[in-house]
Amino acid sequence: MNFFTNIFKPKEQTYTIVLTVTSPNGFHLRPIASFVNETKKYSEEITLSSKEQRVDAKSINAILALTLVAGDRIELCVVGQEPQKTLYTLANFFEELMQTELQKYQLADIELDNNIIETAKIEKAIYSKQLLRGTSIYEGIVIAPLYRATLKIENKSNNLNFQEALQKSIQELDKLYESHKQSANASIYLAHKTLLEDQEIQNITTLDAFNIYIKKHIQSLQATSFDARRADYLDIQKLILAQLGQSSTLVLPDTPFILFADDLLPSEVAILAKSAVAGVVLKKSSLLSHSAILLKNFSITSVIIRDTIFPNDESILDASLGLLIPNPSQEDKDIAKDRIIKNQEIKHSADLKKFDKTINKNGKEVKILANITNLESAKEAKAQGADGVGLLRSEFIFQSKEPSLEEQTKVYRDIFKLFDTITIRTLDVGGDKELPYIKMAKEANPFLGIRGIRLFDSHPEILQTQMKAILRASKGKAIKIMFPMVSTPKEFINAKATTLRIAQKYKLKVDNVKFGIMIEVPSVIFQIDAFNDIVDFYSIGTNDLTQYLFAIERTHPTLHADPLSKVLFDVLELLYTKSTKPISICGEIASIPQASQRLLQIGFTSLSMAPAQIPLIKETIRNG
């Protein structure tokens, strides 16, 4: 570089921001891998600092070594000529990762609560024989021999050196990632690929050095909350050894069996899925481990049971209740067979009738709608038999850059074509959801700050463009526009008035549009009479409503509100009783079978949920 170039080179700047690990499971391999892959897109120097250590944010192993747990604060630092945009983009990406991990944790928590509720029913002695209790990973009931996991070791010499085996392993993981891109399995394959691509491993030249590296990392995880990461290191070690001809494979029977093991490697679960396996019992896993995630994705009946287990010729695995009955009596086998038949009938009926109307035992029709996030999930909702869309989260189109009027209009129009009933929620950011291109003042408590409908005042141009796009996309089709985080009638009146002015200015139809609010803020409960006079409909967002009722932030690392609290149901009943306009539920609670029955008892006849839950909830309601 010559003298003049050096003089006029833009001066490097440093920007930092402090982030908090809010996922109850800490900052573990999958989100770290996603974060590292995101940082590699930028040329700036990017580091993370925590616990008096500063590490390269483009190194997965360096971040893993920080062992970041829930509540830990980390400083994200970007150094470059224009680092501010990169900093905010990465900070938002991190927050989205934390929110996704929290949602997974909460769903697992709900599944655990449901399992406890169901297991309590067995106190009435469904089964007569001695049984072992655990936590269900994936429901189902099977009867088969109980088989201990064993490995077959083979050594076949080949001419590959370590570096060649490493690169072939990366290529194999890349193929697995590409072929499973639309499933949850993809994140696991991508995490392992990113781990092998880390510079620390890339610098290793011999198998002995690699084995030392693996042993060191596994030892560092023992007796910590990150002990479950052992499986990830063992899996990448197994993959490279296989490339070098040193393979270890599960020895599996040819006839149906129940496998029990301390835990399984992700690669072993993939092999199991192609075998005659009927069920799996794990001892040292967790609901959010990679093995558990894959067992669920492959629909393998499975549980976690901490007790000591011995092989036997026949056992009942009732994962619907989280039970294992070794050496069952004939009476217990008859009970299990009856339950298997009943479950098969329900599942078969649910699938056959997923496009039918949902009529409960009292003859009342219940609308089962879908919560969707993009065009792909809208198509899935259609395929699962959704009666319409109860919540179209419009944030997806705003994530990476500010969308144009034309881009928004096209996306909305494509989704609107799929259903006769559509409720679209206007842009809901703020709190734990931020956008890199929206400048928002630093808030001490963003969950109580500028978010939802308040963007009409703070960022009117963005909301006005969205209103115009929605009205253009509807082309006279009946739609519902729902405003989020409304706390006073005045907020709703002003937002609706803004939309009507836009319609008048651009000569767009509005007689096909109904305007309503998402009930999430407790103040609405005490102003429901005033809202009855001005809104066309209500939809209750139980996730945020629960957050504000109990003053427990949804992303809090240690505090969690009960999603099935009696207090919440009392509030829902009060709202249903006092509302004079159509009212529905669009929170996670709608997809919990026990909760949906209670909601129907209150009187709700419109529930909105994730598409995958729709067939089963429909059939559950029909069977009452």
* Paired sense of beta strands 389-393 and 422-425, if any: parallel
Alpha-carbon 519 to chain mean position? 23
Which run of H or E residues covers position 369?
strand 365-372
H runs (alpha helix) in 429-565 = 455-458, 460-474, 489-505, 528-532, 542-550
Alpha-carbon 601 to chain mean position? 29
Half-sphere exposure of 297 (CA within 13 A, CB side): 18
Half-sphere exposure of 489 (CA within 13 A, CB side): 12
Residues whose CB falls within 8 Å of the CB of residue 167, separated by 6 or more in sequence, listed in order: none
In three-state secondary structure terms, 51 is coil
Where in 235-311 does DSSP place strands (E)?
Answer: 246-250, 257-261, 277-282, 302-304
> In the structure encoding, which two tokens stand for residue 514, read together?
């109904």
- Cβ atoms within 10 Å, residue 551: 8
Annotated catalytic residue, options 28, 192, 290, 459: 28
3-state secondary structure labels for all residues of 113-163: HHHHHHHHHHHHCCCCCCCEECEEEECCEEEEEEEECCEEEEECCCCCCHH
d(CA 448, CA 321): 40
- 28 labelled catalytic: yes
> In the structure encoding, which two tokens stand for residue 115, read together?
């399992």
Name the amino acid, one letter, at 370: A
d(CA 278, CA 300): 7
In 3D space, the residue among 517, 537, 518 whose CA is nearest the CA of residue 579 turns out to be: 537
Cβ-contact 85, 439 below 8 angstroms: no
Q: How many Å is the maximal CA-CA distance in the chain?
A: 90
Cβ-contact 575, 528 below 8 angstroms: yes
Which run of H or E residues covers position 232?
helix 230-243
Cβ-contact 581, 599 below 8 angstroms: no
In three-state secondary structure terms, 500 is helix
N-terminal to C-terminal alpha carbon distance within the chain: 77
- Edge-first strand order for the sheet with 53-56 is 13-20, 73-80, 45-50, 53-56
* Active site (catalytic) residues: 28
